[in-house]
Chain A
C-alpha cells in the first residue's frame, strides 16, 4: 500500500485510515521503539557531554593532572585530549551500529505491519 503525505506543510494527513494510525501509535511495539530510541540517544548524549565537560573541568581545576609526565617528554594530557576526539568518533560508531541493527529492524517490522493494513 502506498502511503502518501498529501500536504507537506501540514504533514499529518495520510491516506491510511486515522484509526489504524492511532492503533499503531498506541501499540506497545511502537511505544517501546520510541522509548528505546529516546533512552539510547539521551544516554549517549549525556555520556558525550560528561566526557567533554569532565575534560574541560579537569583543565580548569586540575591542570597538574594533565601535565603529569608519562615518559620523559610526554604528558598525560596528550593521550587524553586525542582520546576525547577518538572517543567522540567511536560513540557515533556505537550509535550507528545500534541503529543499523536493532533500531532499523524494529522500524522495518512496524512498517511492514502498517503496509499490511
Chain B
C-alpha cells in the first residue's frame, strides 16, 4: 500500500471540468445577482433577504478555508491527535460569536461591524481606527489565502503559480463587483455544500475499508505508527503558548470582519442566532470529518508518501481521495479545494471593500452624506482596489513563508476588533478616545509582538533567540487592548455617549429601530 503512485500535479480532466463547471455556474449566479444589486443594502447585505439556514451555510463556507480542510487533515495525518486540538480551537469561537456578538451586532449595525463600534461614539475617529483593525485583519488573511491558492493550484493542476493567482483574483473580482453580497453568499453556499458533501463522501468510502468501524481505523493507525498518534503529542508544550493561541482563535473568530458582515444579510436577530447554530453544526461536523480523513490518509496512504509530496502534509486529503476514490474523485476534491479558496477570498474582498467605501469614504470623507448610486459605485471601485491588492499580494509573497499571517490575522481580530465591539455593546462608560486607543493598541501590539516572537524573529528572520516568548501574541495584545480601552475611557468623560447608551438598549435588546 505504501508504494502508491499519485497523479497529483498532472492535469486532471475531471478536476478541470468540475472546476470550470463551478466557475460557470457561479458566474451565472453572479449575472442573476447583478440585476438585484443596485442599492447599498443589496450590495453590502443582499437586501437582508438571506434566511438563517442559508446564512449558516454561507458562514461555514466563509470560515472553512482550504487551509483548514487540507491543513488540518494533513496535520492529523502526520501528527495524529494534535491536529484535532488545533481544529477545536477554531470551532469554540463560534458559541462566543453567538452569545456575545451576533444579535446585538445585527440589531445595532447596518453593513459593517464599525457601524456598531461607532454607534454612539464620534464617527470619524472611531471609523478610522476600526478600519485600520479591519483592513489589517483582511490583508493578512488575504496574503495567506492568495499565496496558498497559487501554491495549491500549482500542485493540483500543474498551472503556473502566477496564472493561478490571477485567475483566482479575476473570478473573485467578478463575483463581488457585479453580484455583491448576494452572489458572494451563493458562492459560499455552493462551496460549503460541495466541501461538506465531498468530505462526507470521502469519509464514507474511507470507512468502507474498515467495515464502517472508526475504531478499526484508529486500531490500524496505532498498529502502524504506535499508540502515540491517538493521544496529545508535542503540540501543547508550553501552556502559555497554547492559551495565547487559543485566545487568538476563539476571540479572533468573533472579530473577523468578513464573518461579522454576514450577520447583516439576515432579516432579524432571530435569524442571526439561527445562522450561528447552523454554522457551528456544519463546521464542527466538518472538523470531525477532517479528523477521520487525516487518520484515513495516515493508514491508507502512509506518512512517508504524504511527506514526500508535501512536507507539511497539505496533500493528505487529496492523496486519500485518489487512493480510495480514483482519479475522478481526486479531480472532484481538487476542484472543491480551488472553489473553496475562491469563495473565501471573495468574502474577504467584499468585507475589505465595504470598509473602504462604507466606513472610510462615506462616513469619514463624505460625513455620511452620499446618494445610494454614488456609494454603490464607490463600493465597486473599492472591490477592484482590494481585488487588485489581493493579486499583488499573492504575486509578491510567492515562495515566502506566510503561514504565520493567519495567526496574525486572528490575533489582530482578537485584539483590535473584538475588544472594541464587546466594550461598545456592553459598557456604558466607553468613550471615543477609549475605543481609538484600544483598537490601535491591540492592532499595533499584535504586529510588533509577532515580529519579535519565535514565529517570525527566529523562524523567518533567523535570529538566535526570540525577544517575545509566545508564538501568538493574543494573550498580551488582547488583554492590553481591553485594559487601555477601559483606562482611557475612565480618564475621558463622554456624557453624550453615555446618554445614548440608554437609548441604544432599546435597539440592542428589543431590535426596535434596527435596519
Given A56-B236, A61-B239, A77-B81, A111 contacting B218 (CB threshold 8 A):
no
Contact yes or no, A63 B246, CB < 8 A: no
> Residue on B with the closest CB to A91?
B95
Task: Check if B110 is an interface residue, CB within 8 A of chain A.
Answer: yes
Interface residues on chain B, size class: 35 or more
Asked whether A77 lies within 8 Å of B232 as measured between CB atoms, the reply is yes
Q: Are B81 and A81 in contact (CB under 8 A)?
A: yes
Q: Give the complex CA separation of A98 and B232 in angstroms.
A: 36
Min C-beta distance of A115 to chain B, whole Å: 10
Shortest beta-carbon distance, A69 to chain B, in Å? 8
Contacts of A3 in B (CB 8 A): 512-513
Q: Chain A residue with minimal CB distance to B228? A: A67
**In the bound complex, what is the Cα–Cα distance between A56 and B245 (angstroms)?**
11
Q: How far apart are the CA atoms of A4 and B238 in the complex, in Å? A: 54
Task: Give A53 to B92 CA distance when docked, in angstroms.
Answer: 10
**Given known A73-B218, A85-B287, contact A45–B99 (CB-CB < 8 A):** yes
Which B237-258 residues have a C-beta within 8 angstroms of A?
237-239, 242-243, 246, 250
Q: B281 near A: Cβ within 8 Å?
A: yes
B287 touches A73 (CB 8 A): no
Chain A interface size, under 10 / 10 to 19 / 20 to 34 / 35 or more: 35 or more
Q: Does B511 contact A (CB under 8 A)?
A: yes
A5 to B363, CA, bound (A): 18
Interface string of A66-100 (1 = CB under 8 A from B): 11000111110110011011101101110110011
* Cβ-defined partner of B505 (8 Å) among A25, A41, A82, A96: A25
In the bound complex, how far is the Cα of B233 from the Cα of A66, in angstroms? 11
A89 touches B284 (CB 8 A): yes
Contact of A78 among B81, B88, B103 (CB under 8 A): B81
Q: Which of B118, B243, B363, B513 has the most CB of A within 10 A?
A: B513
Nearest 4 pairs between A and B by C-beta?
A: A67-B231, A60-B239, A73-B219, A5-B513
Residues of chain A with a CB closer than 8 A to B511's CB: 107, 111
Least Cβ distance of B263 to chain A in Å?
A: 14
The residues of A with any CB-CB pair to B shorter than 8 Å are 3-5, 8-12, 14, 21-22, 24-25, 30, 33-34, 37-38, 41-42, 44-45, 48-49, 51-53, 55-57, 59-61, 63, 66-67, 71-75, 77-78, 81-82, 84-86, 88-89, 91-93, 95-96, 99-100, 104, 107, 110-111, 114
CB distance from B233 to the nearest CB of A (A): 8
Inter-chain contacts of B215 with A (CB < 8 A): 71, 73-74
Residue on A with the closest CB to B508? A34
Could you tell me the distance between the alpha carbons of A109 and B279 in the complex, rounded to whole angstroms? Answer: 29
How close is B476's CB to chain A, nearest CB, in angstroms? 17
Some 13 contacts from A to B, beta carbons below 8 A apart, are A3-B513, A25-B502, A30-B505, A44-B99, A59-B242, A67-B230, A77-B230, A78-B81, A78-B218, A85-B284, A92-B98, A100-B270, A107-B509
Choose one: A48, A59, A78; the contact of B236 (CB below 8 Å): A59
A61 to chain B, nearest CB (A): 7
A38 to B103, CA, bound (A): 12
Please tell me if the beta carbons of B94 and A25 are within 8 angstroms of each other in the complex.
Answer: no
B91:A85 contact, CB within 8 angstroms: yes
Closest to A45 in B: B99
> With A89-B284, A92-B98, A95-B98 in contact, do A11 and B91 touch (Cβ < 8 Å)?
no
